[in-house]
Amino acid sequence: MPSDLAKKKAAKKKEAAKARQRPRRVPDENGDAGPEPQEVRSPEANGTVLPEVDALTKELEDFELKKAAARAVTGVLASHPNSTDVHIINLSLTFHGQELLSDTKLELNSGRRYGLIGLNGIGKSMLLSAIGKREVPIPEHIDIYHLTREMPPSDKTPLQCVMEVDTERAMLEREAERLAHEDAECEKLLELYERLEELDADKAEARASRILHGLGFTPAMQRKKLKDFSGGWRMRVALARALFIRPFMLLLDEPTNHLDLDACVWLEEELKTFKRILVLISHSQDFLNGVCTNIIHMHNRKLKYYTGNYDQYVKTRLELEENQMKRFHWEQDQIAHMKNYIARFGHGSAKLARQAQSKEKTLQKMMASGLTERVVNDKTLSFYFPPCGKIPPPVIMVQNVSFRYTKDGPWIYNNLEFGIDLDTRVALVGPNGAGKSTLLKLLTGELLPTDGMIRKHSHVKIGRYHQHLQEQLDLDLSPLEYMLKCYPEIKEKEEMRKIIGRYGLTGKQQVSPIRNLSDGQKCRVCFAWLAWQNPHMLFLDEPTNHLDIETIDALADAINEFEGGMMLVSHDFRLIQQVAQEIWVCEKQTITKWQGDILAYKEHLKSKLVDEDPQLTKRTHNV
């Protein structure tokens, strides 16, 4: 029987459970995100999930099932079945008959945060999916959460969506509330409350709210319906769920896609505290440096492991490859010398013949024990933006421009005044909803100023890359067919093949249906299409999503060689550092020039995080 104190405690919690059922007043608050998070709206619906969303979700699930059916995975669990580490040997992975991994090993140790890297299309996401679906022999006691897609539009709020992912806590709370209203036996109710205490149930809403806030959701946005958010924002909700549930193994595929710089900095600090097994794919060197304790390099159908973050991986890999090539050349010199000696003296005097036979045995032993392989470097990739010619300034003039989306809506910009020319190299930064993408749309003419005027040179051509450009691709065509359709003035297929090849699409990739390409390869098709519009100005809105690190470096080189102007919105600190000569901060309805480089701006964001969330700093230091 419980003590009197325990009974009183249960009674208080019982009363608190009843109180939670009463309607709660939410203070009226103006969100600072403006219309951007509401850019894509779904029709009104009374159900939890819209019917058309149900159909789309089923279509995506069917697509995943087809991919899984085309995937074959084999491997043997080598670690103890009750261990918190996962060691799998003889791992092989094929997709549509193409061998992605062959007789390699997967080693994931508790307390480590792994960055999985490799070229676009090599199979990183496929491997993560195979792990997430337990197609490799992961012990059952290790729970896995694989973030795969955005949350579907529904009548639920982001806060509700995040909290409901913890199914045990949600079930216990429902049962406790039912028992509290039925005046059930105190013992059973107390057991439930004690388990909820173990799960920190009373702190669940505050923790969910803190995670959403870190990813850019204001308190008002946390209580809006999910159907009122764009896909990018619903992806943030899905990411918040993954962080909230705290699984033993967390798999994240490009988690910084759809995030701005502020949210990237917060996520980096948050993931530093993850104490179980984290495997993430990311194109951001800066992010990998901040989060990872280990790097897994997927290359040449093998998984190779490096201790340390991305910079340490680069240093170690260069040293190992340098030593490997020294060993390779030494062995080849020895082989050539011995073969030459055997050929010259194998049939000479008895003494020389014996020496030749000895060298032949030495050579056979070397061959039998295995020779050092030549280092196989990743394919080098180069992007290219054709010469655009000169245009006298001013190319684009912004004169007293103010903008808001609706007549009664908040002002995004007020009295902007600036000019950009062919020598402009600017990165736009700022908080969510400040209007970075909106500014690019104003400059291209997709949006019109509410007040003021934007003057453009009559001959200027603008190329805008944005996150939804892939949606314009005809997935049934090959890259070659698509480009020939878009640029009929190029008659020869071989000439177009050379053009597409500049963007890292070669051989079968050029003639395969675009739907069969990886997301990164589809992005390359978009860049090829954009570049051959021959623009004077490049407006790049999150161009690094789905690109691998080598491709981003190639893009940076191409931007630096480009003759025209460039404005960039990106969450990739390293790309900004490589290509931007100025940092413009979009905030509080205006634009100001940042006095410093992007790394100084990142430190500024970190200091803001400390002020807003001291708990984050404490948790980071305690890791």
What CATH number labels 33-168+213-312?
3.40.50.300
Question: Which residues in the chain land under pLDDT 70?
Answer: 1-69, 168-170, 183-186, 195-202, 380, 614-623
Give the pLDDT confidence score for residue 54 in this predicted structure.
57
b/e burial code for range 280-318 (CB count within 10 A of at least 16 → b): bbbbbbbbbbbbbbbbbbbbeeebbebeebbebbeeebe
Domain boundaries, the chain: 33-168+213-312, 319-369, 396-461+534-621
- Report DSSP state, residue 595: S
CA distance 106 to 109: 10
Question: What does CATH list as the number for 396-461+534-621?
Answer: 3.40.50.300
542: left (phi over 0), alpha (psi -120 to 50) or beta: left
Determine the pLDDT at residue 214.
Answer: 93
Distance CA 392, CA 402 (A): 26
Q: Is-contact 82 141, C-beta < 8 A? A: yes
Q: Is 586 helix (H, G, I), strand (E, B) or coil?
A: strand
Q: Which residues pair with 281 in a beta bridge?
A: 253
Q: What is the pLDDT of residue 61?
A: 58
Apex 418 CA angle, 413 and 420, nearest 5: 120
Helices (runs of H) and strands (runs of E) counted in the chain: 22, 18
